[in-house]
Amino acid sequence: METRPLPPEKELVERLKNNDIALFEQVVKEYHSSMYAVAYAIAGSSIADEVVQEAWISAINAINKFEGRSALKSWLIRITANEAKSRLRKESRSVSLEAVNENWATDTRFTQQGRWADGNPEWDISSPDELLSAGELKDCLKKHMDKLPDKQQQLLNLRDIGGLDMEAICNILEITASNARVLLHRGRDKMQRVIAKFQRTGEC
């Protein structure tokens, strides 16, 4: 949507090794956001920028040794996660697993019998990318993401925006797989609700 598609992996890596500066710029723009999300989730906002810059520099210095056993993006994300972990601030974020069922009983989307109160209307879009073209919706999602409990935010950043696998995420956050899935789902569900409301009312 914002950038033209990157060439296939093999060609991509070959060209990056051969001093293709235009392609390098495109790659930075394409993957920077995911890397930032991972750095932010692990190391916090104050040093996330630094972590991403360091990760890029490590990647640049190692690109000639990159053999393409994983996708370039996964490789970049892994480097970022490692860089972020090594700089992890010592004071921990709020680590308590919030009571995940706190709102369950009062979820107004459902009747007392647990059925949809409003039939959950269809969204009026043809593709997820179309959702992103609405600037107001993006601002709204961002606002609500910032308000999510820390761990839910971390899960969305690491898994859905960063594309890290669940096992790596559990290791980084030191939580169990089932906790991770619950937290991830709470975050996704919240984002779904924000979009649904926006679709219904045009408001955040």
Partner 1 sequence: MLSCKHIVDLGTDYLDQELNFWKKAEMKMHLMICGPCRRYIKQLKQTITMLSHWRMKQPTTEQLEQLKSNYQKAVSEG
Sites of contact with partner 1 (CB under 8 A): 1-3, 16-19, 21, 24-25, 28-30, 32-33, 36-37, 49, 52-53, 56-57, 60-61, 63-64, 104, 107, 109-110, 113-116, 119-123, 125, 128-129, 131-132, 138, 142, 156, 160-161, 163, 166, 181, 184-185, 188-189, 191-192, 195-196
Closer to partner 1 by CB, 24 or 82: give it. 24
- DSSP structural state of residue 160: I
- DSSP structural state of residue 110: B
Q: Which two tokens stand for residue 83?
A: 């860089």
Closer to partner 1 by CB, 170 or 191: give it. 191
Least Cβ distance, residue 90 to partner 1 (angstroms): 25
3-state secondary structure of 26: helix
Task: Give phi and psi for 110, each to the nearest 5.
Answer: -120, 150
Amino acid at the residue 19: N
Q: Which of 105, 177, 179 is nearest to 149 (CA)?
A: 179
Closer to partner 1 by CB, 8 or 119: give it. 119
